Amino acid sequence: MAELTTLARPYAKAAFQYALDAQDLSGWARQLATLAGASQYGAMVEVIASPSRSADQQAKALIDACGDELSEPVRNYVQLLAQNKRLILLPEIHELFEALKHLQEQSVEVELTTAFELADADQENLAKALEEKLKRKVSVRAEVDQELLAGVIVKAGDLVIDGSMRGRLEKLAKAINS
């Protein structure tokens, strides 16, 4: 995985710089997400990895799969990736692009996992508290995991705050068994 990230980094930076200069970070992020998803689809994985297909054929197949979702600059970018045999890196390129975008926008996407669904007001209060702590704009993506029993797990980049009952019970079990 680290090797793929290393290979993807210059392509992600180039796409990011182009999108930044064109003032179209959101558009490029959306299109790269589409490409990353399409490139991981079963039949498309085989097309991209096939040594019997030319770079043009691979790029055309991927572009056709995405339909009208791609702008001309992004289509050219796909052609470049195909010529350099880097289409397989699209998921990593998208991930790195998103990280650069969040850094540029001084924002962070927070993954919020709760034992039960939170009310919108509670979710907004938590987002405000996280904005103050992280000193960034926060966008929250919430999901429910009933195995947590109670509480919440917050993931923001490398930061993980485990305030779940399951997490506390696991810590207690480790302390008792030590």
Give the pLDDT confidence of 109-137 residue by residue, as tens digits: 777 787 778 788 877 887 788 778 777 77
Mean pLDDT of 11-19: 89
In three-state secondary structure terms, 130 is helix
Q: CATH number of the domain at 173, please.
A: 3.40.30
Q: From residue 4, give the alpha-carbon distance in Å to each of 66, 79, 107.
A: 23, 19, 25
Q: Are residues 98 and 22 in the same domain?
A: yes
pLDDT digits (tens, 9 = 90+) for 79-89: 988 888 888 88
How much is the mean pLDDT over the chain? 82
pTM comes to: 0.64
User: From the DSSP assignment, how many helices (H) and strands (E) are in the chain?
Assistant: 8, 4
% of the chain at pLDDT higher than 90: 2
Last-in-domain residue among 58, 86, 102? 102
Last-in-domain residue among 75, 102, 129? 102
Q: Are residues 25 and 95 in the same domain?
A: yes
Q: From residue 136, give the alpha-carbon distance in Å to each of 63, 94, 107.
A: 35, 21, 5
